[in-house]
Chain A
Amino acid sequence: MTANGWRLPAPAGRLLDRSRQVAFSFEGRGYEGFAGDTIASALAANGQWLLSRSFKYHRPRGVLTMAGQDANTLVQLKEEPNVLADRREIESGLEVWGQNYTGSLERDRDAWIGRFSAFLPVGFYYKAFYKPKGAWRYWEPIIRRRAGLGRVNLDASPGYYDKAYGWPDVAVIGGGPAGMSAALEAAGAGAEVILIEEGPILGGALNYARLAADGNRAASLRDELVAAVEAEPNIQVLTSAICQAWFTDNWLPCVQGNRLYKLRAREVVVATGSLEQPMVFRNNDMPGVMLGSAAQRLIRLYGVRPGRRAVVVTANGDGYGVALDLVEAGVEVAAVVDLRPDLPVCERIEAVRGHGVDVIPGHTVWEGVPGPDKRHVAGVRVARITGEGECADGDRAIDCDLICMATGYAPTAQLLYHARGKLAYDDQTAMFTVKKLPPHLHAAGSVNSAFYLDAVVAEGRHAGWAAARANLDPTSSGNSRLLWPTTSGVLATAVVVLAVLVARTPTTVPTVIEATVPALEQPAEQVVAKPQVETLARRSRLTFRHWAETAPLLAMRERALRGEFTEPSLAVSLTTAPVPTTARELMREFLPEAERSESASPAVFPAWPWLRVYGRETI
């Protein structure tokens, strides 16, 4: 199967079980893939990129997102029409057919309709063929045959579907870096957490994206987080599960296989990430034109080489990550076309140049050139950008069979819109953000327009903390959009530090915190009742740890958003900075016996380097 050169060797293809081969058929021809392959990836591994024909003009359609987010890969199964080929896994003996063609998928006899596109505006046949009265009855079967979406099997057998109910303290939607961090933080504070992940495995973008010039960073962070999540008894993980909606007061219907979970969560953290957006140019719908993330998914998740010679069109650093991944997968990268006229200093750009790839700034792709068979892209035309919506006359043709679009993201914020979140576009950062969320709903990660990995993790932890905090204290609305460090945060931490340093008395660290932090947080007139003390103590420990650990990262994210620093400086990550031994000893000295074993875990310790740094700056 690797003979044709599309399948990549073993480290690639995280979802594949290479020990099990699965035979299926497409258009009546037999194919083989591995267990874990989707229909689209298995076909791509056999060099079959054409999957279906478009609804109206019968144009060829292939992989676009590899994430089930597009209608390009609708195929027909025996029992079911309109199946997403990039989501449905292959199984032995599966019969798959393309959709919406006359004759054969490769040579569609109705492809001539595309030539008349100028005369067929949107809704044309609903206007033209309704007159005279009764004419539609004659025309409808003819039009339906040419513009249909698969055949419904009227003899389909009924299946078994059931329901389950859940009342988690915190529901985290999205199992990427932000979601896993949020779940860990909330579970660590004693909340019962349910983690809902759409894909078959946890990890989100860490599974396929290249988030730094060093390709191993994402994978190591993924392994770390997944191991921690699996070891945490308070987290229930639902994979291959989709949270379909957000209803008032955090009522979440969630589908996993044939089961519907009806969840009523006290707090919800939405960490659904973002979707790469396609770029607009002529013939951008041809097979061979796909999102940068789709190419990365093909490589990392399914071990499929997405093309032989590629052009990457980009406007951000991630496009260069795509180019690096392509180079490593053995794809010849003909050029990286960057829309930006001036490129920032960036590790990934230098790494791409280091591979001898032609980087063309200030240019755009304005046309994809179809091959002689009109079924796959065979080249691009690239032109210099001269103004808003304008290109220079002369263009440059580059031969390629793959165009990767990595030009920007939109937040996957549907659930936040259900909760009446408002989408706003910030020109300064060129990002979408969602504002005005109701209480008890938190957003974290790239859905909240945090894109640097450290900031994403920090935001996840912050949201998890805010959710757990609101859960411990029902009167707090736990607004996760609070930006740290706030003035009161600085003040409270300063008081704690002073208290610890000045009063080197038999008091333990937690009691000092208990004495100071709640006092700052509670209104002066409020008397703390006895039963609340335990909660307050727990909360204040949590508050303290949280400030210590996430404040610098969130502050960093704010600086990044304002453009005050670029990527390379992120290499100096505060979470990975070594903990000074003095701080460890200090911590041991002050903690009571019971707390010591717990504090030996790295989750508690990184508090201290920051305190030192922060203390130096503020006190």
Chain B
Amino acid sequence: MKIMPCPLNGPRNISEFVCGGEVVIPPDPARCSAAEWADYVFMRDNVAGVVREWWYHVATAYWFIAERDTVTDEIIRTYPASELFSKRVVFTAPEEASEAGASEAGASGGKP
């Protein structure tokens, strides 16, 4: 059985973990087009190579991020999500969306 190095609990059997899928940064729901939103909800890259994924340690209810190679099945690096999401993500409220227009102030995609 494979070992997953959990940033919180150390190396544990991979059966204690659940994969949460690729790390995808959500677009601002108020501003993006329907196509962009559909892309975010339904489409994934499914890369053969190094991917960045959400993983969840069930016993301690801990979400973290793992980088692994889907070709060689090698776990390259795991780290807490705070390393990637260092800022609070604030989406604009739906009513203000039309007024704010193209202005980027106060909103960000959350990508560091």
Contacts and interface: CB of A to CB of B under 8 A. Distances in A.
B3 interface: yes
A396 B17 CA distance: 69
Contacts of B1: 247-249, 251
Contacts of A249: 1-3
B85 to A, nearest CB: 29
Interface string B65-76: 000000001000
A247 B2 CA distance: 8
Nearest to A249: B3
Contacts of B73: 248
Contacts of B2: 248-249
Interface residues of A, number: 5
A248 B14 CA distance: 10
Interface in B54-90: 73
Nearest to A253: B1
A264 B2 CA distance: 10
Most chain B CB atoms below 10 A, which of A247, A248, A249, A264: A249
B69 to A, nearest CB: 14
Interface string A247-290: 11101000000000000100000000000000000000000000
B3 to A, nearest CB: 4
A225 B91 CA distance: 71
A249 B2 CA distance: 5
A166 to B, nearest CB: 14
A101 B54 CA distance: 61
A241 B1 CA distance: 20
A249 B73 CA distance: 11
Most chain A CB atoms below 10 A, which of B1, B2, B3, B73: B1
A315 B2 CA distance: 43
A247 B13 CA distance: 12
A248 B2 CA distance: 5
A55 to B, nearest CB: 36
Nearest to A262: B1
A247 B73 CA distance: 13
B53 to A, nearest CB: 18
Interface in B22-75: 73
B18 to A, nearest CB: 18
A475 to B, nearest CB: 14
A251 B4 CA distance: 13
A251 B13 CA distance: 10
Contacts of A251: 1
A251 B3 CA distance: 9
Contacts of A248: 1-3, 73
Contacts of A264: 3
Contacts of B3: 248-249, 264
Interface string A88-116: 00000000000000000000000000000
Which 10 pairs show the lowest CB-CB distances between chains A and B? Answer: A248-B2, A249-B3, A251-B1, A247-B1, A249-B2, A248-B1, A249-B1, A248-B73, A248-B3, A264-B3
10 contacts: A247-B1, A248-B1, A248-B2, A248-B3, A248-B73, A249-B1, A249-B2, A249-B3, A251-B1, A264-B3
Interface of B: 1-3, 73
Given A248-B3, A248-B73, A249-B3, 7 more contacts: A247-B1, A248-B1, A248-B2, A249-B1, A249-B2, A251-B1, A264-B3
